[in-house]
């Protein structure tokens, strides 16, 4: 298997792990961190594609993802903090006030 | 990587480790002696080494106190707190000291080394290759410095959180917010230098400081950006958690701050990392603002004085002069940081954060704007 | 098998290990440490591939800012939480099955793609040194750059608004 295929495979596995983490874990902060893992997997795929096709667009998109990830974490964590004060816990199974 | 490259890398790494660890050890002595001189005392002069089979006790101005401290830390009882997070507790000292040592890997401590000229008998083994005197001549030098400084923040916070102690947690919170704020200020002040010299490569920045400005001044960073130099030094002292910014380890408030529950050599590692970081901040300031490893009006071939008068030097002399100049300048900066430590009182917590966000950050941005406008006007 | 390739495999294995540990660890701080090690390994991979700019910014922004913020918050919120004891939600089995199916499908598509056919862009391979990369970046993608600065301003304003509203609701 070529090197780029292995890197792409790693990126896919990390993405799947992140997705499973968001679905499976109960702690809100851990879910946020699994989302960051998904973003990192996408960054790895983008860098691999940028090296394969010998253009810069992949790396440039990586920088945009850095900015978006930083902005997202700056807003998502305060939201989770405020939400966790409603139930005094970070367990997402307890955030059920919107249920019917 | 072939054998000569590997050998030169090993030599550089050995030199860097020797320099950093010696600085870390010597600076403990310098701190005590300089503090004593500044306050008109004698200082610590009790530790001695007795020559065996005689009664001659060598005191040597108190140099052995550093050795005594090191031995004490190595031989102390190593206790562990009761309820603590084992992994983070073990990781804390590592994450605090390793990035500090790694930052020195991108700092140039000399010009270009040509081993073939220094050792003519080995000339054909080296094959005419020249090596810049940096362990890692990476293009993104300054960015790597900031990247590794970010890892030390995580080390300090982990150390304070993992010891199940409220004072340590307070120290960790203070460390986290302080280090983030002042790292931001440091980044913005360095941007002015990056604009002027047009590169983030530390070796290239030092090379471009070997010219002249206005005909007679050496083209050092402090001549181009004196304001940014002062801001960088203030932010560097704050990054190092030294007085006047040493609230994370405030001795009279928080017992020992974030490394309260670390005994023996684990605390020694934190202390050593702080003293090594004094040298590293000094080395960064010297590289960016003080002309690096060159004396004024000197470059890799010798001296070029204003007026065109050139004094060429042999390669061996140039290398030795550059190494000694770098060490001398770093020592001067470390002495200045110790001077600041023993002069100023400690900031209060809200004063510290307000100083960073409402005073230093606007000044750094203003400095950047003025630099950018001046460069644009000059190029128009 | 040169040492460069060995290092890439090593960093890849560390990244994979970090990802798996993220799902298994109980305390959020351990998960954060696993994620930090995963990010550092990915930065190592980028550095070995020669994309130094992305590697340095990965450590600088992700580990040095995003994860510092995450560790700070986990430090603050050290509550004895029911989510520490029961880590997994009700979707454990469907989640794992779906993840395996996704990874398998993507992996099969990657194998079917075969070895990559290098189609170089307009010109030679781009340089990932800082100066040429930055010049190229700002020459072609300056609009994206400006839009991301607008995004950051929006994020700052939103963060302040969230904190204000939280303070108001606390009374």
Domains and CATH numbers, chain A: 3-94 (1.10.287.3510)
Dig out the tokens for B163 from the structure: 């010891």
How confident is the model over A18-57, as pLDDT tens digits?
999 999 999 999 999 999 999 999 999 999 999 888 888 8
- A70-79, B88-97, B120-129, B191-200, range with the lowest pLDDT: B120-129
- Please answer whether residues B142 and B204 qualify as being in contact, where contact means their C-beta atoms are separated by less than 8 angstroms: no
pLDDT at B355 over 50: yes
How many other C-beta atoms can be found within 10 angstroms of the C-beta atom of residue C35? Answer: 29
Chain C residue with minimal CA distance to B161? C75
Nearest to B163 by CA among B283, B59, B261: B261
Answer for the pair B245, B179: CB distance below 8 angstroms, yes or no.
no
Which of B151, A41, B99 has its CA nearest to residue C68? Answer: B151
Residue A94 has phi, psi (to 5 degrees) of -90, -5
The verdict on a CB contact (< 8 Å) between C56 and B143 is yes
As a three-state string, the secondary structure of C113-155 is HCCCCCCCCCCCCCCCCHHHHHHHHHHHCHHHHHHHHHHHHHH
Give domain status of residue C13, yes or no: yes
Cβ–Cβ below 8 Å for B143 and C130: yes
pLDDT of B20 reads 94
Chains in contact with C, where contact means 3 or more Cβ–Cβ distances below 8 Å, are A, B
Interface of C with B in 36-65 (CB under 8 A): 36, 52-53, 56-57, 59-60, 63-65
Q: Do B88 and C29 touch (CB under 8 A)?
A: yes
Q: Counting one residue from B and one from C, how many pairs have CB atoms under 8 Å apart? A: 77
Q: Looking at residue C150, what is its pLDDT?
A: 95
With respect to residue C166, please indicate whether it lies within any of the assigned structural domains.
no
Q: Give B49-75 pLDDT, tens digit per residue.
A: 888 888 888 888 888 888 888 899 999
Residue C28 counted as domain residue:
yes
Beta bridge partners of B298: B303
The CA distance from C58 to A47, in Å, is: 12
Which one has a higher pLDDT value, C127 or B234?
A: B234
Cβ distance of B154 and C36 shorter than 8 Å: yes
Position with higher pLDDT, C116 vs B140: B140
B90 touches chain C (CB under 8 A): no
Predicted pLDDT at B252? 64
Cβ within 8 Å of residue B126, ≥6 positions away: B4, B115, B116
- Which chains have 3+ CB pairs within 8 A of B? C
Contact status, residue B45 vs residue B61, Cβ threshold 8 Å: yes
**Residue B118 pLDDT:** 82
The predicted structure's pLDDT at residue C101? 93
Give residue A2's pLDDT: 62
Range of the domain at C49: 1-79
pLDDT at C119: 52
Query: What is the Cα–Cα distance from B277 to B292, expressed in whole angstroms?
Result: 17
Indicate which of A1, A2, A4, A14 best probes the interface with C, i.e. most C CBs within 10 Å of its own CB.
Answer: A14
- Among chain C residues, CA nearest to B201: C130
Determine the residue of chain A that is closest to C113 in CA distance.
A5
Beta bridge partners of B212: B218
Task: Determine contact, residues B145/B100, Cβ cutoff 8 Å.
Answer: no
Please report whether residue C59 resides in a domain.
yes
C-alpha–C-alpha distance, residues C100 and C102, integer Å: 5
pLDDT score of C78: 64
**Burial class of residue A68 (count of CB atoms within 10 Å of its CB; 0-12, 13-18, 19+):** middle
**Average pLDDT in the B115-143 region?**
85
pLDDT above 90 for B114:
no
**Contact residues on chain B for C84, CB-CB shorter than 8 A:** none
> Which residues in chain B (155-174) have CB-CB distances under 8 A to chain C?
157-158, 160-161, 169, 172-173
pLDDT > 60? residue C118: no
Share of chain B above pLDDT 70, in %: 98
Distance of CA A29 to the CA centre of its chain: 12
| Cβ separation C59–B91 shorter than 8 A | no
Predicted confidence (pLDDT) at residue C134 exceeds the cutoff of 50: yes
Average pLDDT of span B203-229: 88
Residue B259 is predicted with a pLDDT of: 83
Q: Mapped to the 3 state alphabet, what secondary structure does chain B carry?
A: CCHHHHHHHHHHHHHHHHHHHHHHHHHHHHHHHHHHHHCCCCCCCCCCEECCCCCCEECHHHCHHHHHHHHHHHHCCCCCCCCECHHHHHHHHHHHHHHHHHHHHHCCCCCEECHHHHCHHHHHHHCCCCEECCCCCCCCHHHHHHHHHHHHHHHHHHHHHHECCHHHHHHHHHHHHHHHHHHHHHHHHHHHHHHHHCCCCHHHHHHHCCCEECCCEECCHHHHCHHHHHHHHHHHHHHCCCCCCCHHHCCCCCCCHHHCCCCHHHHHHHHHHHHHHHHHHHHHHHHHHCCCCCCCCEECCEEECCCCCEEECCHHHHHHHHHHHHHHHHHHHHHHHHHHHCCCCCCCHHHHHHHHHHHHHHHHHHHHHHHHHHHHHHHC
What is residue B279's predicted lDDT score, i.e. its pLDDT?
A: 95
Contact between C63 and B158 using a beta-carbon 8 Å cutoff:
no
Residue C30 lies in a domain: yes
The mean predicted confidence, pLDDT, of chain B is 89
What integer is the mean pLDDT of B143-150? 94
* B195 in contact with chain C, both atoms CB, cutoff 8 A: no
Work out the pLDDT band at B349, boundaries 50, 70, 90: confident
Residues composing chain A: 100
Q: What share of chain C is helix, strand, coil (3-state, %, to 5)?
A: 80, 0, 20
- Chain C's closest residue to A32, CA to CA, is C70
Contact: A2, C58; criterion CB under 8 Å: no
Percent with pLDDT over 90 in chain C: 57
The CA angle B7-B9-B15, to the nearest 5 degrees, is: 105
pLDDT tens readout for residues C68-102: 999 999 988 766 777 777 888 888 899 999 999 99
C137 at the B interface (CB within 8 A)?
Answer: no
Mean pLDDT of all residues in B84-102: 90
Residue B173 structure tokens: 């919170």
Provide the 10 A C-beta neighbour count for residue B2: 8
**Chains contacting A (3+ CB pairs below 8 angstroms):** C
Higher pLDDT, B181 or C118: B181
Say if residues B249 and B257 touch (Cβ distance below 8 Å).
yes
Q: Is B350's pLDDT higher than 70?
A: yes
State the pLDDT confidence band at C40, using cuts at 50, 70 and 90. very high
* CA distance linking residue B175 with residue B94, whole number of Å: 16
**Number of independent structural domains in chain C:** 1
pLDDT given at position C121: 47
Summary count for chain A: helices (H), strands (E): 3, 0
Give C158's contacts in chain A (Cβ within 8 Å): 75
Question: Is the complex ipTM more than 0.85?
Answer: yes
Q: Which residues of B touch C130 (CB under 8 A)?
A: 139-140, 143, 199-201
**CA distance to partner chain C, nearest, from residue A99 (Å):** 16
CB contact under 8 A, A75 and C162: yes
Q: Lowest-pLDDT range, A20-24, B248-252, B366-370?
A: B248-252
Give Cα B235 distance to the centre of its chain: 12
Residues of chain C contacting residue A15, judged by C-beta atoms under 8 Å apart: 102, 106
DSSP-based three-state secondary structure for A14: helix
DSSP C39: H
- Cβ atoms A17, C22 nearer than 8 A: yes
Q: Per-residue pLDDT averaged across C120-149, rounded?
A: 83
User: How is residue B100 written in tokens?
Assistant: 């500090």
CATH value at residue C31:
1.20.120.1200
């Amino acid at each position: 298997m070529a090197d780029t295929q292995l890197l792409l495979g790693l990126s896919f596995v990390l993405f799947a792990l992140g997705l499973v983490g968001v679905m499976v874990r109960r702690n809100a902060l851990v879910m946020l961190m699994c989302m960051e893992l998904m973003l990192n997997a996408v960054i790895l795929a983008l860098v691999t594609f940028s090296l394969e096709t010998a253009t810069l667009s992949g790396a440039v998109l990586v920088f945009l993802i850095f900015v978006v990830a930083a902005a997202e974490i700056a807003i998502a964590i305060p939201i989770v903090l405020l939400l966790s004060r409603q139930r005094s816990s970070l367990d997402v199974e307890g955030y059920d006030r919107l249920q019917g | 990587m072939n054998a000569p490259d590997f050998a030169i890398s090993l030599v550089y790494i050995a030199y860097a480790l020797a320099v950093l660890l010696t600085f870390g050890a010597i600076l403990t002595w310098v701190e005590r002696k300089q503090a004593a001189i500044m306050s008109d005392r004698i200082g610590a002069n009790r530790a001695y080494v007795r020559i065996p089979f005689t009664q001659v006790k060598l005191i040597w101005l108190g140099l052995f106190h550093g050795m005594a401290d090191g031995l004490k830390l190595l031989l102390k009882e190593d206790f562990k707190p009761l309820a603590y997070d084992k992994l983070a507790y073990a990781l804390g000292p590592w994450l605090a000291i390793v990035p500090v040592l790694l930052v020195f890997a991108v700092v140039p401590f000399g010009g270009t080394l040509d081993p073939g000229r220094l050792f003519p008998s080995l000339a054909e083994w080296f094959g005419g290759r020249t090596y810049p005197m940096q362990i890692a001549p990476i293009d993104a030098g300054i960015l790597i410095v900031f990247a590794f400084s970010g890892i030390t923040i995580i080390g300090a916070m982990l150390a304070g959180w993992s010891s199940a102690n409220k004072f340590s947690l307070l120290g960790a919170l203070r460390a986290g917010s302080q280090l983030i704020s002042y790292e931001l200020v440091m980044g913005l002040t360095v941007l002015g230098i990056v604009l002027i010299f047009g590169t983030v490569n530390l070796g290239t920045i030092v090379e471009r400081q070997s010219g002249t400005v206005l005909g007679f001044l050496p083209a050092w960073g402090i001549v181009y950006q004196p304001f940014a130099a002062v801001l960088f030094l203030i932010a560097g002292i704050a990054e190092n958690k030294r007085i006047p910014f040493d609230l994370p380890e405030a001795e009279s408030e928080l017992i020992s701050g974030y490394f309260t529950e670390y005994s023996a050599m684990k605390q020694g590692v934190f202390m050593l990392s702080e003293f090594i970081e004094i040298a590293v901040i000094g080395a960064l300031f010297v590289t960016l603002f003080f002309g690096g490893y060159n004396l004024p009006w000197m470059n890799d071939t010798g001296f070029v004085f204003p007026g065109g008068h050139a004094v060429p030097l042999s390669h061996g002399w140039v290398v030795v002069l550059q190494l000694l100049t770098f060490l001398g300048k770093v020592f001067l900066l470390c002495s200045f940081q110790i001077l600041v430590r023993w002069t100023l009182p400690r900031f209060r917590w809200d004063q510290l954060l307000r100083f960073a966000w409402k005073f230093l950050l606007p000044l750094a941005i203003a400095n950047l704007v003025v630099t950018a406008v001046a460069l644009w006007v000059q190029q128009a | 098998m040169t040492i460069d390739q060995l290092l890439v495999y090593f960093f890849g294995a560390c990244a994979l290990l970090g990802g798996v540990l993220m799902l298994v660890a109980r305390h959020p701080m351990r998960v954060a440490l696993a994620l930090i090690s995963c990010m550092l390994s990915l930065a190592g991979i980028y550095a070995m591939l020669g994309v130094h700019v992305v590697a340095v910014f990965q450590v600088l922004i992700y580990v040095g800012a995003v994860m510092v913020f995450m560790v700070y918050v986990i430090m603050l919120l050290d509550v004895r939480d029911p989510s520490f004891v029961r880590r997994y939600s009700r979707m454990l089995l469907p989640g794992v099955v779906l993840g395996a199916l996704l990874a398998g499908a993507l992996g099969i598509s990657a194998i079917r793609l075969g070895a990559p056919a290098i189609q170089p862009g307009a010109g030679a391979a781009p340089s990932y040194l800082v100066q040429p990369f930055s010049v190229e970046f700002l020459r072609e993608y300056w609009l994206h750059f400006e839009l991301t600065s607008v995004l950051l301003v929006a994020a700052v304003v939103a963060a302040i608004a969230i904190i204000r509203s939280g303070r108001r609701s606390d009374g």
